[in-house]
């Protein structure tokens, strides 16, 4: 009799797990609460380790073809002067290939279409994930930062914590040659090339939790960032009057384990981190690969899940801790020259991998 898996959440980590298990002959069902694949979304940097993970799922070459090589960038001050270089070429020299940029919709479409029709069930929320254990060999919680599966396992013991910053993000119709970030006093603005003719942008401001600008999101962005160097004012002008996506940045209190009996957590459900290293998608891919390979190699599910936990919990929690520290640097309001020196010294060895 074949083995079965129920995966709660059709995001990057859940789909990567499903593909790995399906390729090994498992019967897999992915329950996704949204009505379908997203049509819009921001750009993702897929680092060499994650590309190699996609290789193990049989999707690496297609991902490389759909994406574009990330160019070198810079961290700058609001007047445009350079703090440090983001030497992406160094990543290629050290790790054998560059970082590739894909939009979230492109990556999710690639992953979804690697599975047979009917495996991913859209508009299919799960209210009692632990009940799925009765009919499946393994249940995977891949339902994001506000994971209901994690809540069922741990309750309120390991809450989300506010990072101290609120953020806006979106895309505009603009071509830029290179991305990077601009750091001011308690604020930063980032740009990343996406598909041809499209640029991903994001902005962060240190603020109290739940902050809502009294003058509205777009006027606040123009007030804070409108006098910064080109092309930031042009980006702000292109946003238009539609409301940009705005949310507080939170991270998950480190969990003592990613597994509970025959249930495993992956991606943001397991280790939601701030976006300061741009590693969320990469770590979700690596989670899915490690979990599926552990289940394939070990017939006893609890033993396989303990192996997965051993492989992934410490590395991802270490990445999350580094990301939080970088985020706090970006929130500095005073002594910014000293902060800039720290950033320059850290990036002298290349961007964090």
- Calculate the alpha carbon distances from 165 to 123, 147, 170, 209 in Å: 32, 21, 17, 8
Q: What is the 3-state secondary structure (H, E, C) of 195-207?
A: CCCCEEEEEEEEC
End-to-end CA gap in the chain: 42
pLDDT band, residue 198 (cuts 50/70/90):
confident
Confidence (pTM):
0.94
pLDDT band, residue 111 (cuts 50/70/90):
very high
Q: Does the pLDDT at position 53 exceed 70?
A: yes
Q: Are 13 and 32 in contact (CB under 8 A)?
A: no
Short-list 234, 255, 8, CA closest to 155: 255
Look at residue 196 in the predicted model and tell me its pLDDT: 76
Q: Does the pLDDT at position 65 exceed 80?
A: yes
Look at residue 42 in the predicted model and tell me its pLDDT: 80
Short-list 253, 255, 264, CA closest to 143: 264
Radius of gyration of the chain (CA): 20
- Calculate the alpha carbon distances from 123 to 32, 34, 44, 126, 332 in Å: 6, 5, 25, 10, 42
pLDDT band, residue 352 (cuts 50/70/90):
low
Pairwise CA distance, residues 162 & 211, whole Å: 12
Look at residue 181 in the predicted model and tell me its pLDDT: 94
Look at residue 92 in the predicted model and tell me its pLDDT: 86
Q: What is the 3-state secondary structure (H, E, C) of 267-296?
A: CHHHHCCCHHHCCHHHHHHHHHHHHHHHHH
Q: How far is CA 78 from the centre of its chain?
A: 26
pLDDT band, residue 351 (cuts 50/70/90):
low
More confident residue, 68 or 265: 265
Look at residue 242 in the predicted model and tell me its pLDDT: 61
With tokens 């339902």, the residue in question is 143
- Give the single-character DSSP code of 298: -
Give percent of the chain with pLDDT exceeding 70: 97
Question: Residue length, the chain?
Answer: 353
Look at residue 16 in the predicted model and tell me its pLDDT: 98
- Mean pLDDT, range 123-139, rounded to an integer: 96
H or E stretch covering 316: helix 301-330
Pairwise CA distance, residues 243 & 58, whole Å: 38
Mean pLDDT of the chain: 93
More confident residue, 258 or 342: 258
Q: Does the pLDDT at position 195 exceed 80?
A: no
Strands 160-172 and 245-252, bridge-based pairing: antiparallel
- Mean pLDDT, range 195-219, rounded to an integer: 91
Look at residue 179 in the predicted model and tell me its pLDDT: 85
pLDDT band, residue 155 (cuts 50/70/90):
very high
* Predicted confidence (pLDDT) per residue in 221-257, tens digit: 999 999 999 999 999 999 975 678 899 999 999 999 9
Q: Which domains does the chain have, with CATH numbers?
A: 4-72+100-160+252-328 (3.50.50.60)
């Amino acid at each position: 009799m074949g083995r079965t898996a129920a995966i709660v959440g059709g995001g990057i980590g859940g789909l990567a797990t499903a593909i790995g298990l399906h390729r090994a002959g498992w019967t897999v069902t992915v329950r996704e609460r949204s009505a379908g694949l997203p049509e819009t979304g921001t750009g993702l940097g897929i680092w060499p380790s994650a590309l190699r993970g996609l290789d193990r799922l049989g999707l690496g070459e297609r991902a490389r073809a759909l994406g574009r090589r990330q160019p070198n960038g810079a961290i700058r001050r609001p007047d445009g002067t350079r703090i440090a270089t983001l030497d992406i070429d160094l990543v290629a020299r050290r790790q054998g290939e560059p970082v590739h940029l894909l939009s979230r919709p492109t990556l999710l479409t690639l992953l979804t279409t690697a599975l047979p029709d009917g495996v991913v069930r859209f508009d299919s929320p799960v209210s009692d994930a632990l009940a799925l254990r009765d009919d499946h060999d393994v249940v995977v919680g891949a339902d994001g930062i506000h994971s209901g599966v994690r809540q069922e396992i741990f309750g309120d013991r390991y809450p989300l914590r506010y990072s101290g910053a609120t953020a806006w993000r979106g895309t505009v119709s603009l071509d830029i040659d290179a991305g990077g970030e601009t750091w001011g006093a308690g604020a930063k603005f980032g740009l990343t090339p996406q598909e041809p003719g499209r640029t991903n942008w994001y902005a962060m401001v240190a603020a109290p939790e739940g902050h809502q600008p009294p003058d509205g999101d777009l006027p606040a962005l123009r007030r804070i960032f409108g006098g910064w160097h080109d092309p930031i004012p042009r980006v702000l002008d292109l946003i238009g009057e539609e409301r940009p996506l705005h949310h507080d940045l939170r991270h998950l209190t480190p969990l003592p384990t990613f597994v509970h009996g025959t249930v495993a957590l992956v991606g943001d459900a397991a280790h939601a981190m701030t976006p300061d290293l741009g590693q969320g998608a990469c770590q979700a891919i690596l989670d899915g690969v490690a979990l599926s390979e552990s289940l394939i190699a070990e017939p006893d599910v609890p033993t396989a899940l303990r192996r997965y936990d051993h492989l992934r919990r410490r590395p991802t929690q270490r990445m999350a801790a580094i990301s939080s520290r970088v985020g706090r640097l970006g929130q500095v309001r005073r002594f910014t020259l000293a902060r800039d020196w720290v950033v320059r010294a850290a990036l002298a060895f290349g961007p964090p991998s």
